[in-house]
Structure 1
């Protein structure tokens, strides 16, 4: 299958022009209109819906991705996000009253939900529609102008986005910048009102340093090694099917894919046997003969993943087949993996699942806490106490029980990491909030000076006593010694 989308880099001079043009578009005030924002949101939805077949073809070329995966993981959910924003933007954008406070109610304090301005979204190759268009639905709903910088690695999908955006979107509101390192570097030399970057930690440090020079605020979504903790009393068949699917879908190139499994040592073989059964169900003719497996994005990524697999000291249970000419790596499970193994050295971002045996759940928690906070943490258990123990004693971007990956599209949930796995949130209302300036506002009537006139010089002890008596805070009773001791022990 081929795609006819051409990837042509944007000139550095044009990037300056795009920046200036969007500044003028924002200053025009047209984005203040909720009706205008809704039109642009709806156009984004139709940009995808009208071209579903072309996007599926482009995904197939860039990622070897089956059509069902493209529809389920990206296209349908992103169109759905457009509908959610279209339906809710009036509510999201409404000015909000501050909580009632006796000292300030007369001022009419409110919070105005206002756009930040012009915002770029620098997105990756692995989900080139969901990461490029998904977050900026909220940015447009909030009234911002947007620059899309899609990945040069997913050249066909990115080229299709670049072709379609001018046909569907107002150029005063959205533009596309194509290219690689040089074009991204040029973008980051300019001042922005908020930057969203999705990708890896190494590049995130470069982008954060560049953003600091212009004092541009930034949101980072960075991934990491997302662990799975197995309770031997889990629904094992369901757990194995979902974990293997989450590792194999999009060839493991998912920032919230289950990266590795922590399983009690005496349950490892039973768990691995369940994964074997799931693999036989998914790929009855074998992985090499399946049309339901995506490929690795580039030769460089293929070599990196294969290199980690070649160096493992664990035992390959199934999979392990590779084909460099197709950039193909079969879904692979490796058991008996140790902490020092090559597969535990970095985020895999490929279809390889290391299974690391541990003594018990406490050992699993201890291992997780020694590492960077992951973007997602998964637990498979039917026991509420087991789930709570893992979630209450770890930190991660999300805490998910008995499924993987699909929480990224769940309506009403934020998507974001913590610490090295990212900062800030997006998806739905959280994208709107991320690109919204909360502007404090109040209107002070003249008669307030009958009460607050004591704030003016000349200052006297009488005025100070009056203000303290009428505006001072009255704290609850001081904690008792017994309460302090309990707190200190806990």
Structure 2
């Protein structure tokens, strides 16, 4: 793999200017041109499957199956989904029907924001770079991509391939570390998407605030998994271990820790140990199905946490600094204040925290920042509802892990400390799109609401109020919950009056009044 070549800091502002000029050229207003660039991006992936697979192996020790299943395939599928749906997503929408305004032709125009900055992470360096780039271009923006310097092989490969497939005034790559990222953040952008840690997310937000730049933050946090005794224990152990140890635990939505009733902890641990033996029969160190830590610094951090834990390691625990290897590790009897429970682990260590009951699990989850994901393993519908209805998280899954990111149509994003905003698929298009309100109001409207113009009079106020003011439902009675029932008789009379009014208007040729009559008559009849 080639060495990562940093972009000269002094070149970054000119790169931004080139992208700004690309946006000003208006060529991205043409949907066919956007689709051409998006399709080129898809071929960038397809033509270089082996190169990306090898780069992921070099950066993360990523096994081939994992490389395709959790990164390469989702990336190209996401790009193709955007390509196939662009015309539908970009189409101007009619505003929801409104009696008062429908004749003014209110519509929502889908317009690009301008030139955007995407800062992507090391853990999914291909997918979380190229998928949002596709969404940004689909929305009509030009893009500066700043990939992580930690995933150096993938970042260098991306920097070499982008100019071969995409126009230079549409998408560029800046490689580097803190100085290069700092320079990017000093410049003004029309939107910033950052994926990474909460600490850096605060830095990005502060820099964006200087220019009032909108920001989408995809952060992380400690995502809990709640296990109920009603669960299918074989399914639970299989999916939980896969979700935790895939990518060596370096996944922002991996289950960070497990909350389980004390009486069920032994059953869960036994099942996890059995599944572990199936996953890694000769041990994880010799397995071709397990990744490595991204850097020595990340390795040392996790090694220190393992050494400090007061819990009991029941499987794993081995480390090898020369390989940046932390064995998949399960730790039982972990307390709330343990070293493993302070910050997001972002590694292959699974703490199991015993609780008295599901209520205590929920209470503990709610005592911490909102996580990016929350998992519950149970067959009981009541338990699943209890956990989901009484917690907050970016996503919530029952009896599954990680799969929400690959499900087309689902938003990917956090809440509170785990992030703000969404992307992936249509949500990337929406994130980088400005919804521009528009109207084209005919002259005859003034015959109906001409009373809005000075000089103001009591009669004008009376007429406008009849057109505009709604009739509220019955006033709530303290201690009584409204059922939402309506007066059917009044509705029928209102419908009859409306039909007679429409007939009168049509025979009198006062067609311009038609859109306003329902509101007026229902107001008079207090429906």
1:413-452 residue CA offsets vs partner (Å, 9 max, x unmatched):
0000000000000011111111110000001111111111
Aligned alpha-carbon RMSD (Å):
1.1
For the pair shown, the structure with the greater C-alpha radius of gyration is 2
Q: Specify the SS of the correspondent of 2:435.
A: strand
What's the offset of the Cα at 1:473?
Answer: 2.0
**CA gap 1:356/1:482 in 2 versus in 1, 3 angstroms:** closer
Render the CA deviation track for 1:85-143: whole Å, top value 9, x for unaligned.
11100000000001111111110000001111111110110000111111221111111
Q: Does the 8 A contact of 2:159 with 2:173 survive in 1?
A: yes
Match of 1:304 in 2: 301
Aligned residue for 2:525? Answer: none
**Aligned position for 2:36:** 39
Question: Helix, strand or coil for the counterpart of 2:351?
Answer: strand
Report the TM-score when normalising by structure 2.
0.90
* Pair 1:425 & 2:394 matched: no
Name segments (4+ residues, structure 1) moved above 2 Å. Answer: 480-486
Secondary structure in structure 2 of the residue aligned to 1:307 = helix
1:175 to 2:176 alignment? no
Aligned to 1:363: 360
| Residue of structure 2 in register with 1:381 after alignment | 378
TM-score w.r.t. structure 1 length?
Answer: 0.97
Match of 1:442 in 2: 439
Count of matched residue positions in the alignment of Structure 1 and Structure 2: 483
* Deviation digits for residues 335-386 of structure 1 (CA, Å, limit 9, x no counterpart): 0000011000110000000000001100100110001100000001111111
What do the CA deviations read for 1:194-221 (whole angstroms, capped 9, x no partner)? 1000000111111100000011100001
Distance 1:340 1:13 in 2: 47
Q: What secondary structure does 1:133 align onto?
A: helix
Q: Secondary structure at the match of 2:108?
A: strand
Of residues 342, 346, 351, the one that matches 1:345 is 342
Match status 1:69 vs 2:45: no
Question: What CA distance in whole angstroms lies between the structure 2 residues aligned with 1:301 and 1:481?
Answer: 57
| Aligned partner of residue 119 in structure 1, secondary structure | strand
Question: Quick one: which of 400, 407, 413 aligns to 1:410?
Answer: 407
How much has 1:484 moved relative to structure 2?
Answer: 6.2
Match of 1:103 in 2: 100
**Residues in 2 aligned to 1:377 and 1:221: alpha-carbon distance in whole angstroms:** 15
1:93 aligns with 2:93: no
Q: Please give the residue correspondences for 1:53-452 in structure 2 after superposition, counting only pairs within 5 Å.
A: 53-452=50-449
**Aligned equivalents of 1:54, 1:470: Cα separation in 2:** 65
Q: Which residue of 1 aligns with 2:467?
A: 470
Q: How far apart, CA to CA, are the structure 1 residues paired with 2:3 and 2:342?
A: 37
Paired with 2:318 and 2:479, the residues of 1 have a C-alpha distance of 64
d(CA) in 2 for partners of 1:398 and 1:347?
17
Kindly state the Cα deviation for residue 319 of structure 1 after the two structures are TM-superposed: 0.2
1:15 equivalent among 9, 12, 16:
12
Is this contact kept in 1: 2:253–2:402, CA < 8 A? yes
Higher deviation after alignment, 254-263 or 444-453: 444-453
Q: Deviations over 1:167-201 (max 9, x none)?
A: 00111210001111111111111111110000001
CA contact (8 A) 2:334 2:354 kept: yes
Instruction: Specify the SS of the correspondent of 2:282.
Output: coil
Q: State whether residues 292 and 323 of structure 2, in contact with CA within 8 Å, keep that contact through their aligned partners in structure 1.
A: yes
CA shift for structure 1 position 481: 3.5
**Please, which runs of 5 or more residues in structure 2 have no aligned partner?**
484-527
Distance (Å, rounded) in 1 between the aligned partners of 2:342 and 2:13: 40
Give the Cα separation in 1 of the matches to 2:165 and 2:356: 56
Three-state SS of the structure 1 residue aligned to 2:127 is coil
- Structure 1, unpaired ranges of 5+: none
Which residue pairs with 1:50 in the alignment?
47
